[in-house]
Amino acid sequence: MKKFVIILLIILSNLVLFSQNQETKYKIDQTDPNNVVNTIFYAARTGDYLLLENLCDSLGEGDGDTKRICMLSNLKKQADEYGETEEIKETFEKFRNCFKSASSFGKVQYEISGSGNEIAKVSFIFNHQEGESRSSEVMKLIKRDGKWYLYSF
């Protein structure tokens, strides 16, 4: 009986430790523009680039910078399937260096574009890849069918 109790305690303690080590899957809330921008920072910190896949404008109207962010998910799939080349490693490293310690600040500002779409502006600080230590930037997002998508920065 004593052995049974000891084994049971060991199993239970392992289950508790296992459940504590399980990372909760990040939930993207595209009804909140700030959450969409913070998804970029989370992906940079964790390497979960697949989260970036559906963040770009659903009509493809985003600028090149936002499209490059979203394309990291395709690059991750390519690396997983065919192997990570030095060029891919470098791309991921640049992205991580820019955004892993980034953070948004201030209130989200809203406006209506010339075409009648709602635009959100999220201010954030990140490490600029051109050598500036910290740089302030604004990410613009566009609302489509109730969801916010990266549009420009």
d(CA 42, CA 27): 11
Per-position DSSP letters for 56-122, written without gaps between them? B-TTS---HHHHHHHHHHHHHHHHHHH---HHHHHHHHHHHHHHTT-EEEEEEEEEE-TTS-EEEEE
Strand ordering across the sheet containing 118-126:
103-112, 118-126, 135-144, 147-152
* pLDDT confidence of residue 145: 93
Q: What pLDDT is stored for residue 68 in this prediction?
A: 95
pTM: 0.80
Average pLDDT for runs of 10 along the chain of length 153: 48 45 73 97 96 92 94 94 93 94 95 94 86 79 96 93
In whole angstroms, give the CA distance from residue 36 to residue 39: 5
pLDDT for 121: 98
Here the tokens at position 100 are: 């892993």
- Structure tokens that stand for 6 in this block: 């000891």
- Architecture of domain 29-152 in CATH? Roll (3.10)
Residue 2's pLDDT is what?
Answer: 59
What pLDDT score was predicted for residue 4?
Answer: 44
pLDDT computed for residue 3 by the predictor: 56
Q: In this predicted structure, what is the pLDDT of residue 25?
A: 79
Question: SS3 of 142, please?
Answer: strand
